[in-house]
Amino acid sequence: MKSWKDDPRADTNPVFNDNPLKLGLFALNGIGISMTTAPEALHTRWDESKIVSELADKAGFEANVPYARWRGFVEEEPEHRSGNVMDCYTWAAATSQLTKNSGVFATSHVPTIHPIAAAKQCATIDQISGGRFGLNVVAGWNKPELDMFGAPMKEHDDRYAQAAEWIEIIQQLWSRDEAFDYEGQFYSIKKGISLPKPRQSPPPIMNAGGSDRGRAFAAKYADMAFVIVKSDDPEEIRAETDLYRRTAREEYGRDLQIWSYAYVVQRDTEQEARDYLNYYAVEYGDDKALDGWMRLQGMHTQLMPKDVMEAMRFRFKAGNGGFEMVGTAEQIAERCQILHKGGIDGVLLGWCGYADGIRRWTKDVSPLLINAGLRRS
């Protein structure tokens, strides 16, 4: 079995480098990972995205992953900021041109784009970036968005079946020099071909699949499985990461990386950090957006104990349910150790204020991670 640690794509794409804990940015093409209306929170502005991408690029971050959104979560407010998100493919092309080091991803919802169009756009961005592109594949979950496209919301397993065909077609378009036919349940391709080819063979695939079917999909097709860390115990985290790796190795003879995401609040003292977290997640928490998101998820909050519901709401306003990194630089470095011990290969980061956050991280946290052996100097 070939290990990703020996992957030749490491020559151009840093997500395959030898840093024990890789770092990335998450959700820079929109309003970030926090559900907040705090004035300093990320806005959907290219100038702001550009500054933060360049800071992360200079800091040696391996990945820059956007999120795809076609409409906001507040149905009665179509103009709500939760729907103000730049197109991932266009954003990735521009971001790959202004950066030199970071891997740049596009996030794509399978039902919203034909695989022939996606394959060509991905290959084009991979050429622009010099082989630093990656594709984050989402099977599709947001019914109001799919309704906009006239794409019926499929049953859970059918969504992954369609995604499998989508990926298989793209992989052939990336690799085959001759035209080919493809006849599947969801796609029919006649004499399909795509040029130019991507520089990588092929660009890496990221996928977040939490169900049994989703985990099997990630194990078969993805280079990077994206998981939500729900525990502070490294052994509990490792139980999940080991399950992904075991599925990939035993069922498909593959190796894959495991990534997650975290929200960061770094201050000189833990109390200062907690106070700021409360400021943006509670005082300025966007309850309208969260309520809309919960309705889309079909969450029956009346069945939840009050304390469980309140904790969940706080975590999602703080950072979309991500792993918590709140406190001093030393405390945040310790949280990174927990992820590493739990078998996490990379973590995407988000802040309420991204530019300030990444500057603090680079100055204070990065040296600690190097000293701990989690990052190379």
Q: Are strands 22-26 and 346-350 parallel, antiparallel or unpaired?
A: parallel
Q: Is residue 358 part of a domain?
A: yes
Burial of 78 (0-12, 13-18, 19+ CB in 10 A): exposed
User: Residue 356: inside a domain, yes or no?
Assistant: yes
65 contacts 136 by C-beta, under 8 angstroms:
yes
CB atoms within 10 A of CB 376: 11
In a domain, 363, yes or no: yes
Amino acid 219: pLDDT: 97
pLDDT, position 193: 98
User: Using CA atoms, how far apart are residues 188 and 34, in angstroms rounded to an integer?
Assistant: 40
Would you give the DSSP letter of residue 285? B
Q: At 292, which helix (H) or strand (E)?
A: helix 287-297
Residue listed under structure tokens 């756009």: 121
Q: What is the pLDDT of residue 298?
A: 73
CATH number, residue 30: 3.20.20.30
- What is the C-alpha to C-alpha distance for residues 326 and 68, in angstroms, rounded to an integer? 27
Q: Is position 148 within any domain?
A: yes
Tell me the DSSP string of 9-70.
GGGT-GGGSS-SSEEEEESTTTT-S--B--TTS--S-HHHHHHHHHHHHHTT--EEE----S
The pLDDT assigned to 299 comes to 62
DSSP 3-state of 43: coil
Query: Residue 77: is it exposed, middle or buried by C-beta count within 10 angstroms (0-12/13-18/19+)?
Result: middle
By the 10 Å C-beta count (0-12 exposed, 13-18 middle, 19+ buried), 305 is classed as exposed
Instruction: Tell me if 92 is assigned to some domain.
Output: yes
Q: Residue 126: inside a domain, yes or no?
A: yes
Q: What is the DSSP string of 91-143?
A: HHHHHHHH-SSSEEEEEEEGGGS-HHHHHHHHHHHHHHHTS-EEEEEE----H
Structure confidence at residue 33 (pLDDT): 98
pLDDT at position 15, please?
99
Q: Buried b / exposed e across 112-134, counting CB within 10 Å, b at 16+? A: bbebbebbbbbbbbbbbbebbbb
pLDDT in the model for residue 1: 55
In a domain, 234, yes or no: yes
Beta bridge partners of 180: 192
Question: CA dihedral defined by 119, 124, 128, 133, rounded to 10 degrees?
Answer: 0
Counting Cα atoms < 13 Å in the Cβ hemisphere of 359 gives: 6
Domain that holds residue 23: 4-371
pLDDT in tens, the chain (377 residues): 556 678 999 999 999 999 999 999 999 999 999 999 999 999 999 999 999 999 999 999 999 999 999 999 998 899 999 999 999 999 999 999 999 999 999 999 999 999 999 999 999 999 999 999 999 999 988 888 898 899 888 888 999 999 999 999 999 999 999 999 999 999 999 999 999 999 999 999 999 988 999 999 999 999 999 999 999 999 999 999 999 999 999 999 999 999 999 999 999 999 999 999 999 999 999 999 999 988 887 765 556 788 888 999 999 999 999 999 999 999 999 999 999 999 999 999 999 999 999 999 999 999 999 999 999 97
- When divided into structural domains, the chain yields a total of 1
Rounded CA-CA distance 229/210 in Å is: 11
Residue 376 resides in a domain: no
| pLDDT computed for residue 303 by the predictor | 64
By the 8 A CB rule, do 82 and 287 touch? no
